Structure formats: structure tokens, C-alpha cells
Amino acid sequence: MKAALHPGRLLARRYRLLDQIGAGGMSVIWRARDEVLDRLVALKVLAPSLAADARFRGMVREEARAAAQLVHPHLTSVHDYGETVDPDGSITSFVVMELLSGEELKLRLTEGPLPWAEAVQVGAQVAEALAAAHRLGIVHRDITPGNVMMTGTGVKVLDFGIATRIGAPDEDEDGETFGTPAYVAPERLDGAPAQPSTDVYSLGVLLYEALTGRVPYPADTWDQLSAALANGPPPTLAELPELPAPVAEICLRSLARNPADRPTARQVATALRDHLLPADPPTATVRVPTEPPQPQPTAGTPAAVTATGLPGESVAASGWSARRLALLLVLAVGVTLAVVALLPEQQPARRAQPTVGPTATPSSDPPAPTTAASSAAPSTRPGTGSPSAKPGTLTEAANRVDGLIGAGLSAGQIRDDVALDLRNELRNLTVAVSSGREELAPPVARLREKVTVRLGEGGISPAYAARLDAAIIELGAARV
């Protein structure tokens, strides 16, 4: 008799089953403990009828092997594939995956469409995950809200169970089409080979549903899908006048009937990501009196002092030298002017922190002259900076942090993986706060903590960690 799956059972002398957390037609998902590495994992155990088929087991093993090559923040990690032979000779086949904590996008959408900024964030992260898979020649073939998990660190694309290689036949041996009808590209109904463009179509359906709360061509069967594609009106996003035109355009292009008219997953990711967080940080303006300092402060006509976070740029004060401006700031009684300077320090001959992978050559521009603004820069320890007198809106403050991350990356003071991690955390913060799902203080605290941790790992130089911390403090004071 086949041994039943139950809590406490040990598979492959390593994975202890704890409890069942999901089920589908092809598999059952268990939470388990890896007793070798002492960590919690998810086990996807194939249905007995499928596990009995050697051909199907081989296919799943190859898919697990391909998925294990995919290392990306928005893809679920695959750790292992295993088989256990039961006393009656039957086989239990399973895939070991990263255990996630979060909520399926499918469940979120039962409450209605997402705020457009959050929908765009989700679409960008799914597109980035697909672009990584396509670079390795893998097509997912089942991008749906049920295969996208919303976690505290962004979305995760799940289940490469029906993934295949680019150019492989897109039908099983019986001529059946894989996938969920409403999300399947039109050309797949004709048995066209698997291509990245089919995933992009599914991504377009997912983004459209996240924005509107419905799919463009509702269908539960292949016949219904064929009828909807033949008779349904072209999808439109005209009902969302607040949606930026570039977002609507990239979504509708992804739904093009002709695969050649669709963008790539990388192009979708770039269009959506760039719209959410422009790369160029805006300037920060602080006003100071123009009259010479007196024993007691006097009012005067303000003149603008502009500081930017780009290498080689300096601070200009109309009519006053940097030295006199410094004296003014020191001698003014009862007035505190906090000017955050996002100017990278002069590049040393040798970097203080190790870097991983290729980095951009530091700029040869001369360093900015020492001014009152640079003297007001935060100390070299995170947590000691003070917020700017005018932090501005949440988007403006987030753009300043993003610009500083980019400058540090270009200067070789922030590692590539650390920059990606911080930018993901920053985008999650912006979306969560803008949509009203979270107050500003908790995600700001998490972002500051992440900077501290990455500093301890050697992924950020002390000087940039201090500047980032000061900019994040400013972000915490922004208008939401």
C-alpha cells in the first residue's frame, strides 16, 4: 500500500512534512523543514497519477533544473528535486522551493482593481522576472494572478510547472494547450512554438486586470477564448483618465494580436519602472538671507542656494562667497539651517569597501569645493543625519534617495546587488505609502535598517551610508 502523506513524514531522509498549505489538480504544496540545513521550505508533491509516469517525472525534473538556474529577487527559488520509493514500489516525486510569506495577487484582486501606482509596480516586477527567465531561454507559459505572490519585499513569480524552452512545441502529446485560457496568447491556440512574446501577452492581461479588475477577454475554456478573441471589442483603458499615457500604451501593446507587435519583457519593465521613479534626482533648494550677519539676526531678501547629488557639481550662492555663507550659518542666532548635500566625496586612490563584479569607472571631474552645504553633510555614521528643512513630497524625497543610490553605484561606492535591493525596498515603500496600505514611519525605519545592515556587510562605503541615511530621514518627513 502506498504510504500516505501526513505531517511528520520524512521524504528523502531530509524533508520533514509539517502541514499542507495548498493544492491543485497536479500537485499538493506542503510546508516542510529541511533537516540538513535546518530551514523551512515548500514542497510541491506531484499527484500520484502523474508521479507514476516516468516521462512526466522526467519533464518535471528538467523544469526544476531549469528553474533552479533562475536567481532573481522576483522569482521563487528552486532548491532541489527528489523522489522517494514507497514500500509498494510507487514513487513520490517532489520539488523543493523557497517558502514564501504573503498573499496571492489573485486574492487581492477579489477586492477590486489595485491603485494604478501599485498595479504598475506589480507589472514592472513581474516583467523583470520574465526578462530574467527569457534571457536563459525559458518561457513560463502560465503568468496569472494565481502565480504571483505579494510579499513584504515585492512580488514573486511562482510555479514553473509548465515552463518550457524557447522554441519547444507548445502542446502536449495529445495536442492540448497548456495554461489558463483567459491569459493565453492567441497564437498558442494554433500550436505555435513557445516564445517570450506569449509570456508578454499574459503579462499584459495581468497588468490590465490589476488596473481594471477584469481580464480583456473573459474565458474559462478554449472555445470561449476563441469566441471572445473573434467577437470581443479591442481592450481599452480610457476608463482610467488618471493613468499615465505611457503605462496605458505599454499595457495595450503587450496585448497586441500579432506577437511581433508586442514589446519584450525588458522593454515593459523599463517603461513601467522609469515611469514610477525617474532616474534624475531633482534639485533641492534652500533659502538663506542675503544681508551680512549682525550681532542679532535681521530679515533680508532671500537668495536661492541649490545643491544636487551629482559628482562634480558645486553649490552657488548669489553675491556671496562660500566662506561668508559658512560664517552666516555659524553666527545666525536661533536659526538652524539643515542643508543636506548629496555630493560624493573625492574618490580615494583605493576604495574603502570591496566591490563585487564590474563597476563603472569613477568620474575624473574635480571634487566640488568645500562650502557651507558640504560642511552640513551628515556624519559618517548612519543615523546621525538630520532632515532637510523642506523635504517636499514623498515622490520628490524618494527620487532624491534613488538618485543618491545611482550616484553611489556609478562611483563604485555601492555594490550592484545592494543598489538593486535598496531600490526595490524604496519602490515598495513608495507604493505602500501612496496607496494608503502603510504609514510612512515603519517602511522608512526598515529602509534605514537595511542601509545599516548593508554597511556592515561591506556593500556600501561609510560615506555613502551616511548620506543615504540622511536622505532617508528626509524621506520620513516628506508630505504624503
In a domain, 356, yes or no: no
Domain stops at, among 248, 276, 304:
276
Asked if residue 234 has pLDDT above 70, the reply is: yes
Average pLDDT over residues 232-259: 93
Query: CB under 8 Å to 274, separation ≥6 — which residues?
Result: none
Residue 142 belongs to domain spanning: 102-276
List the single range of 35-39, 190-194, 340-344 with lowest mean pLDDT: 340-344
pLDDT at 475 over 70: yes
Could you tell me if 115 and 19 lie in one domain? no
Domain match, 88 and 120 both: no
- pTM value is 0.55
pLDDT above 60: residue 338: no
Which residue, of 230, 253, 276, is where some domain finishes? 276
446 or 33: whose pLDDT is higher? 33
Please indicate, yes or no, whether residues 155 and 17 belong to a single structural domain of this protein: no
Q: Is residue 326 part of a domain?
A: yes
Residue 40: the pLDDT is 94
At which residue does the C-alpha cell 496569472 appear? 144
- Is there a single domain that holds both residue 314 and residue 233? no
Q: Domain containing 156 — which CATH number?
A: 1.10.510.10
Tally of domains in the chain: 3
Residue 205 and residue 258 in one domain: yes
Q: Which of 118-127, 238-247, 323-332 has the lowest mean pLDDT?
A: 323-332
Instruction: Answer yes or no: is 126 within a domain.
Output: yes
Per residue in 166-185, pLDDT (tens digit) is 777 665 554 455 678 999 99
Helix %, strand %, coil % of the chain (to 5): 40, 15, 45
- pLDDT, mean of residues 66-70: 77
**How distant is the alpha carbon of residue 115 from its chain centre?**
17
Q: What is the CATH number of the domain that holds 23?
A: 3.30.200.20
Evaluate whether residue 354 is within a structural domain. no
In a domain, 52, yes or no: yes
The pLDDT assigned to 308 comes to: 33
Cα R_g (the chain), whole angstroms: 27
Are 14 and 26 contacting, i.e. CB atoms less than 8 angstroms apart?
no
Say yes or no: 220 and 312 in one domain: no
**Do 174 and 266 reside in the same domain of the chain?**
yes
Query: Is residue 163 domain-resident?
Result: yes
| Residue whose C-alpha cell is 532617508 | 472
- The answer on 194 and 163 residing in a single domain is yes
Q: Consult the annotation and say whether 450 binds a ligand.
A: no
Which residues does the annotation mark as catalytic?
A: 142
H-helix segments, 69-115: 105-108
The answer on 61 and 159 residing in a single domain is no
Residue 260 placed within a domain:
yes
5 within a domain of the structure (yes/no):
no
Helices (H) and strands (E) in the chain, counts: 14, 14
* Beta-sheet strand order (sheet of 284-289): 284-289, 302-307, 316-317
> Which residues contact residue 393 at a Cβ distance below 8 angstroms, ignoring those fewer than 6 apart?
478, 479
The predicted model gives 67-78 an average pLDDT of 83
Least confident of 61-75, 184-198, 347-361, 414-428: 347-361
% of the chain surpassing 70 pLDDT: 72
Domain end point (choices 276, 298, 333): 276
Residues 62 and 123 both lie in one domain: no
Same domain, 388 and 459: yes
For residue 276, pLDDT over 80 is answered with no
Which value, to the nearest 10 degrees, does the dihedral of the CA atoms of residues 249, 251, 255, 261 take?
50
**In this structure, are 242 and 376 located in the same domain?**
no
